[in-house]
Amino acid sequence: MQGRSRIQDLRERRELPRLLPLQQEDVRPRSGFRFFSRRYAKCSISLLLILCALVLLAQLYSPEAIEHLYGDMRVYAPTEHSKLPSLFVKYSEDEQRTSKENLLRWKEQGLQERYLRLPARRQRSGWGPFMQELILNTYLANRIDRIFVLDNFTWHEDGWMDYVDHRQGQYSMPVQIPVSAVIRAVTPAGVDPQMIRAVGKDLWDEACPRGRMVHGLEAPPVVGRHLQASMPLKEDVSDSRSQCLELYEFPSTSNDMGSTLLDIWPTLSNSSILTHFGWSPLVELAFDMNRELIAPVTDLEPYLSSLPFTNSSDRYRPIPGLLSLHVPRGIYQDYCRGLAPGSQGFTGFNAFPSFPDVFDPATLAHFGEAARTAVYHRRCYPIIQEIVRRVDIVRHTEAGKGLRDVYIMTNAPTPWVLELKTALRRMGGWASVSSTRDLVLSREQRYVKQAVEMLVAQRAQVFIGNGVGDSLLADD
């Protein structure tokens, strides 16, 4: 029994090595295969996701994509947009609706329904001449007790066009901009007792299909064409019983207004045209958006767009410490070159004798042509060093005390603006130096930014311009 048991033991010992490998080959390799399969699957999925992400990033940040995204952007020029400009449809519709509602109320009040229209004389003119004529023509209508007809600010006379190329096709602009997008022109009757009666041109077209037209040469004393501003109105204009009266083809007098325009200032300045003059909500909102950029304040002030309208002087109070510079460039250079031969003086309201800076061309009578041209160039188209020198002089005057912020109104290219801003900062003493190129504007505000800058200049402690020509030309 023992011998057999020993043999059996030996057999078992010899069988064990045969059994154990079978168990290892049958179980353990299968377990290892599953482990490595899961790990390789996870790694493969991770690598695939990483590759997809790399491909996507390569497409987003390729040179072509970057050029497409940022090719049209300029440093300090956030107002550039690739979309077509707004056509201000809601402003035109609101202007027409309010005009009709006001007309019904005026009839109920027994007011005469008599209209006066003076078509805008200039095509593609600057905002300065447009605003000046708008104010003076409104003054005329108010004096002869007529409803003034508003004409849009127009870049191009072709009415079928919606857009016009600007700067040789670099971008498009709306052909027309409603006046109500710029100023508070047509407000609901009864809201402001001092409001001037005015309606949009669409209502004129409906009410006056055959209005009486008076040639400008037949009515030279008409207020609103500068030289005639202080003269009495002709009888056939002021006493005309025609419901619809249109004055057209006036002589160009923007460069020879002289002191005649100043004669109406006492009356004009006290009229509701100026005492209750207001910028449009669109313009005021743009000002509010850029308020801290233009002149940072330490104390929180209410936004203009949040305040009810009272009058112009209370609403647009001067901002202490703000200096506004008007530095037009571009096509303005050609305009400035033509001033010296004609001995052009300060124009319009720039010619007030009470202003600290006066200019009498007669003092240049003994100057040679080159010297006279140089004087006009410094006045009309100064270089950066001359601008800095002028600012330094103003800072040392009584009016310039406390100046700490500079805002530059300009259509100059961005590199030139950066040079000017750098030169001003080197003077020292400025808390902020900003310009037109820094404004952050919406799609609609971009095309009324000249009006936004007029509001900035209106509220500045000190304003420096050139005084010898049409300000804010239609260059940019």
Compute CA distances 380 → 299, 359, 367, 393, whole Å.
37, 12, 18, 17
Domain harbouring 398, CATH code: 3.40.50
Give the pLDDT band (50/70/90) at residue 331. confident
Q: Are strands 171-174 and 176-177 parallel, antiparallel or unpaired?
A: unpaired
- For residue 340, give the H/E element and its range: none
Residues 167-198 pLDDT 10s? 655 667 888 899 999 999 888 876 666 778 99
Q: 32: which 2 tokens?
A: 């290892």
Work out the end-to-end distance of the chain between its first and last CA atoms, rounded to an integer number of angstroms: 119
70 assigned to some structural domain: no
Domain around 157: 81-277
Q: What percent of the chain has pLDDT over 70?
A: 70
Give the pLDDT band (50/70/90) at residue 109. confident
Complete DSSP assignment for 357-398: ----GGGGTTS-HHHHHHHHHHHHS--HHHHHHHHHHHHTSS
Give the torsion through C-alpha atoms of 87, 93, 94, 98, to 10 deg.
Answer: 140
73 assigned to some structural domain: no
- Residue 324's Cβ-count burial label (10 Å; 0-12, 13-18, 19+) is buried
How many domains are there within the chain? 3
255 with 157, same domain: the answer is: yes
In whole angstroms, what is the distance from residue 275 CA to residue 192 CA? Answer: 12
DSSP SS3 for 326: strand
Residues 199-209 pLDDT 10s? 998 899 888 88
Compute CA distances 14 → 17, 23, 24, 28, 392, whole Å.
6, 15, 17, 22, 111
- Residue 163's Cβ-count burial label (10 Å; 0-12, 13-18, 19+) is middle
Q: What percent of the chain has pLDDT over 90?
A: 35
Q: Which residues contact 223 (CB under 8 A, 6 or more apart)?
A: 136, 139, 140, 143, 229, 230, 231, 233, 264
Residue 20 has pLDDT above 70, yes or no: no
Mean pLDDT of 454-466: 95
Q: Are strands 147-150 and 115-117 parallel, antiparallel or unpaired?
A: parallel
**How confident is the model at residue 58, as a pLDDT?**
64
430 with 329, same domain: the answer is: yes
Residues 141-153 pLDDT 10s? 888 889 999 988 8
321 with 467, same domain: the answer is: yes
In whole angstroms, what is the distance from residue 64 CA to residue 57 CA? Answer: 13
262 with 284, same domain: the answer is: no
Mean pLDDT of 227-232: 42
294 with 223, same domain: the answer is: no
Mean pLDDT of 117-131: 71
Identify the residue with better confidence: 306 or 330: 306
pTM: 0.76
417 with 443, same domain: the answer is: yes
215 with 303, same domain: the answer is: no
Identify the residue with better confidence: 241 or 454: 454
Give the pLDDT band (50/70/90) at residue 67. very low
447 with 387, same domain: the answer is: yes
222 with 326, same domain: the answer is: no
466 assigned to some structural domain: yes
